[in-house]
Amino acid sequence: MSPVVRLLVVAFVRLAMIFFAGWFAFNEDALGAGASIVSRIGLVLLFLVGSILLGEIDKLRTHFRLLIGALRAAGGQGGAAAAVAGSGLDVADGASADPKASVDILIRALGAPDDTTRTNAHKHLVRLTGKNLPPELALWERWWQENRDRYEGPPSGAA
């Protein structure tokens, strides 16, 4: 389904849910005679929360589609995004079948301009390799060149 059609369908369904929430809130005969106010309030809240959740799910789908598109576009341009796109990472479970690919990506991330990215990459490199080297790209690259062939995965307990 195209993004425009999905947007229109989501908007229509959300409007219908809001309409029914209002109908249950203001129509005393909506649930039949003798229905309690608690039942009506519960249905109103159910429809309103459902409408909000539907909108959030649609936003998440859009963000994931944009993220995957960006990773695919960066696939031919090199860098960490290209490594992620071609590293065997499965979008469904977020895990890499090859632990060496994870270390490759994290070492590249040590060269990122963002301090948070470098700090997180270093933290995970230490966790995955069991080596507590300083967060310097050149040191990690040298260590990785010497140890990549012997690396079998994270030490036990470093899930």
41-90: per-residue pLDDT in tens? 888 899 999 999 998 998 888 888 878 877 776 654 444 444 444 444 34
pLDDT, greater one: 95 or 106? 106
Last residue of a domain, one of 20, 44, 76: 76
Query: What share of the chain in percent tops pLDDT 90?
Result: 20
pLDDT above 70 covers a percentage of the chain that reads 82
159 domain-assigned: no
Q: What is the mean pLDDT of the chain?
A: 79
Number of structural domains (the chain) is 2
What's the confidence (pLDDT) of residue 90?
A: 40
- Write the pLDDT tens digit of every residue in 22-49: 888 888 777 777 778 888 888 889 999 9
Report, as an integer, the average pLDDT of 99-114.
86
Inform me whether the pLDDT recorded for 101 exceeds 60. Answer: yes
| Rounded Cα–Cα distance for residues 127 and 28 (Å) | 61
Convert 81-136 into a string of H (helix), E (strand) and C (coil): HHHHHCCCECCCCCCECCHHHHHHHHHHHCCCCCHHHHHHHHHHHHHHHCCCCCCC
Instruction: Decide if pLDDT at 156 tops 80.
Output: no
Instruction: Say yes or no: 66 and 88 in one domain.
Output: no
Taking residue 84's Cβ as centre, other Cβ atoms within 10 Å add up to 20
Give dist(CA 57, CA 71) in Å, integer: 21
Assigned domain for 115 exists: yes
Q: Which domain holds residue 100?
A: 79-150
**11 plus 72 within the same structural domain:** yes
Q: Are residues 83 and 145 in the same domain?
A: yes
Report angle CA 41, 7, 14 to the nearest 5 degrees. Answer: 10
146 and 115 in a common domain:
yes
Q: Which of 22, 45, 76 is the last residue of a domain?
A: 76
Whether residue 144 is contained in a domain is answered as yes
Res. 12 pLDDT band, cuts 50 70 90: very high
